[in-house]
Structure 1
């Protein structure tokens, strides 16, 4: 059985497990990583953060003053990625598109409308990274969003962070 839960990415001197936007929605962090320039990544088990991702992201951006990103991992098979910045607003994409589509088969929503193509996702992610003061790798982003073969979708999420310039 793989991981079911969320990654939260933001830039803040305050640890993730002390930011009110996160604390109000989840009991505790499972893993925590620090990245360059004050960026941090937290891993949280369960669906609580994914259920309210747009509001969580908007509150994180307001609280930290920097763009924020989440990735909801579905059994280590796929990742729903959502980002928010003041300049670019909210965007959504997925990693491991075929696996994501399989998880969404029973939904009554238009999958292609819900999750943009890898190229469109790469453009949205690059705009987010630029708003975050990062230098994105556009060809690398397109490659990550088009990737289908990964043993663990979490690895794709961390590759995405690398391609975002983090």
Structure 2
């Protein structure tokens, strides 16, 4: 049984813990990157509005992750990482999407934020199995989106 919890990624001038998205939750650790990008690990119930782009990621047993866009356009895209295993967890098949279609939406979202996404890498990550744990797929997703975070290996 692996990690279960949330990751919250935001771009903001304010510290992540000041956001309503982090209030009421439990922040365990925060990583900071260039351009105001921040990543927090913890529990974020009913993540609220942030003042910039945001992604909320729910991880289940280190096996499956659900990624949701909170801003700037909530619902612009979402995905499930390790879709094959998600089916074993009982995710409804209609919740799963074609990786190439999600990659196109995700790349457009990231490009609209001035990032330099790698569409081919996005499609690979979105269609991949989580061999080393779904957290690694999530970190690869951030890299493919062009989000500048340097996450130390543990």
Q: Shorter-chain-normalised TM-score: which range?
A: 0.7 to 0.9
Q: Deviations over 1:41-91 (max 9, x none)?
A: 00014xx53xx35xx3xx12xxx1x22111111100011011143457432
Aligned position for 1:143: 124
Note if 1:157 corresponds to 2:138: yes
Runs of 4+ in 1 over 4 A off after TM superposition: none
**Kept after mapping to 2: 8 A contact 1:81/1:94:** yes
Give secondary structure in 2 for the equivalent of 1:30: strand
Flag the 1:145–1:38 CA change in 2: closer, same or farther, 3 A.
same
Deviation at 1:11, TM superposition (A): 0.6
Instruction: Tell me the alpha carbon deviations over residues 139-162 of structure 1, each in whole angstroms, 9 at most, x when there is no partner.
Output: 000000011142211011011000
Runs of 5+ unmatched residues, structure 2: 148-154
The answer as to 2:37 corresponding to 1:30 is: no
Give the Cα separation in 2 of the matches to 1:44 and 1:71. 10
Equivalents in 1 of 2:28, 2:73: separation in Å?
A: 31
Q: Check conservation: 1:84, 1:128, Cα contact below 8 A.
A: no
* 2:109 corresponds to 1:128: yes
Q: Which of residues 58, 72, 80 is equivalent to 2:66?
A: 80
Give distance in 1, aligned partners of 2:75 and 2:57. Answer: 17
Checking the alignment, whether the CA contact within 8 Å between 2:76 and 2:109 is kept in structure 1 is no
Q: Distance in 2 between matches of 1:86 and 1:155?
A: 25
Label 1:82 to 1:89 Cα distance change in 2 as closer, same or farther (>3 A): closer
Give the TM-score, by structure 1 length: 0.80
Paired residue secondary structure (2:2): coil
Aligned residues: 147
Taking structure 2 as the reference length, what is the TM-score of the superposition? 0.86
Q: CA RMSD in A?
A: 1.8
Aligned to 2:40: 42
- Do 2:63 and 2:130's aligned partners in 1 also have CA atoms closer than 8 Å? no
Secondary structure in structure 1 of the residue aligned to 2:117: coil
Residue aligning to 1:3: 3
